[in-house]
Structure 1
Amino acid sequence: MRILLAGGAGAIGRELTPALVAAGHEVWATSRSAAKGSVIAGAGGHPLVMDVYDVASIDAAFEAARPDVLLHELTDLGEYDVAANSRIRIEGTSALLDAAAGHGVERVIAQSISWVVADGDSLAEETEPLRPGIAPGAPELEQAVLAQPHGVVLRYGQFYGPGTWRSSQTPATPEALRLALAPMAEVSSFVHVADAAAATVLALGWPGGVVNVVDDEPAIAAEWMPVLAAALGAPSPEVPASLPHGRPISNALARSRGFAPRFASWREGFVSPDGGVVRSATAL
Structure 2
Amino acid sequence: MKIFVAGATGAIGRPLIAQLLGLGHDVVALTRSPERARTLAEQGVEPAIADVFDADAVKAAITRAQPEVVIEQLTSLPKTYTGESMSAAAPVNTRIRREGGANVLAAAQAAGVRRYLRQSIAFWAVPGAGLADEETPLAFDASPAVAADAHIVTEIERRLLETPNLEGIALRYGFLYGRGTWFAADGDVAQQVRQQKFPIVGNGEGVWSWVHIEDAVIATIAAVDRGNPGIYLITDDQPLAVRQWLSAYAQWLNAPPPTQISVEDALLLSGADAVYYGTQMRGASNVKAKRELNFQPRPLEWIVNSAVAHAS
Shorter-chain TM-score above 0.5: yes
User: What is the CA distance between 1:172 and its match in structure 2?
Assistant: 8.6
* Deviations 1:63-88, CA, capped at 9 Å, x for gaps: 34221111010001125311211112
Q: Give distance in 2, aligned partners of 1:82 and 1:90.
A: 12
Q: Give distance in 2, aligned partners of 1:179 and 1:88.
A: 33
Task: Indicate conservation of the 8 Å contact 2:58/2:104, yes or no.
Answer: yes
The aligned length equals 271
Is the partner of 2:30 in helix, strand or coil?
Answer: strand
Q: Give distance in 2, aligned partners of 1:215 and 1:60.
A: 38
Task: Indicate conservation of the 8 Å contact 2:29/2:48, yes or no.
Answer: yes
Which one of the candidate residues 157, 166, 180 is aligned to 2:174? Answer: 157
Runs of 4+ in 1 over 4 A off after TM superposition: 171-185, 268-271
Which one of the candidate residues 71, 95, 98 is aligned to 1:90? Answer: 98
The corresponding residue for 1:260 is: 295
* Deviations 1:166-189, CA, capped at 9 Å, x for gaps: 113325996697899578971100
Q: Which runs of 5+ in 1 are unaligned?
A: 272-284
Structure 2 counterpart of 1:140, one-letter code: E
The corresponding residue for 2:144 is: none
Q: Give distance in 2, aligned partners of 1:134 and 1:203.
A: 28
The corresponding residue for 1:224 is: 245
Which one of the candidate residues 229, 247, 266 is aligned to 2:282? Answer: 247
Q: Give distance in 2, aligned partners of 1:197 and 1:17.
A: 9
Normalising by structure 2, report the TM-score. 0.77
The corresponding residue for 2:258 is: 237
Task: Indicate conservation of the 8 Å contact 2:199/2:259, yes or no.
Answer: no
Change (3 A) 1:233 1:44: farther
The corresponding residue for 1:146 is: 161
Change (3 A) 1:32 1:26: same
Q: Give distance in 2, aligned partners of 1:179 and 1:141.
A: 36
Q: Give distance in 2, aligned partners of 1:215 and 1:94.
A: 29
Is the partner of 2:171 in helix, strand or coil?
Answer: strand
The corresponding residue for 2:82 is: none
Q: Which runs of 5+ in 2 are unaligned?
A: 79-84, 141-146, 264-274, 307-312
Change (3 A) 1:165 1:146: same
Higher helix share: 2
* Deviations 1:129-186, CA, capped at 9 Å, x for gaps: 3233241521111111111231000110000111111113325996697899578971
Task: Indicate conservation of the 8 Å contact 1:62/1:103, yes or no.
Answer: yes
Q: How does 1:19-58 map to 2 (within 5 A)?
A: 19-37=19-37, 39-41=39-41, 43-58=43-58
Between the two proteins, what is the percent identity of the paired residues? 32
Mean CA deviation greater in 200-209 or 26-35: 26-35
The corresponding residue for 2:186 is: 169
Normalising by structure 1, report the TM-score. 0.84
Q: Does 1:191 align with 2:199?
A: no
Mean CA deviation greater in 33-42 or 46-55: 33-42
Is the partner of 1:137 in helix, strand or coil?
Answer: helix
Q: Does 1:116 align with 2:124?
A: yes
User: What is the CA distance between 1:265 and its match in structure 2?
Assistant: 3.0
Change (3 A) 1:103 1:169: same
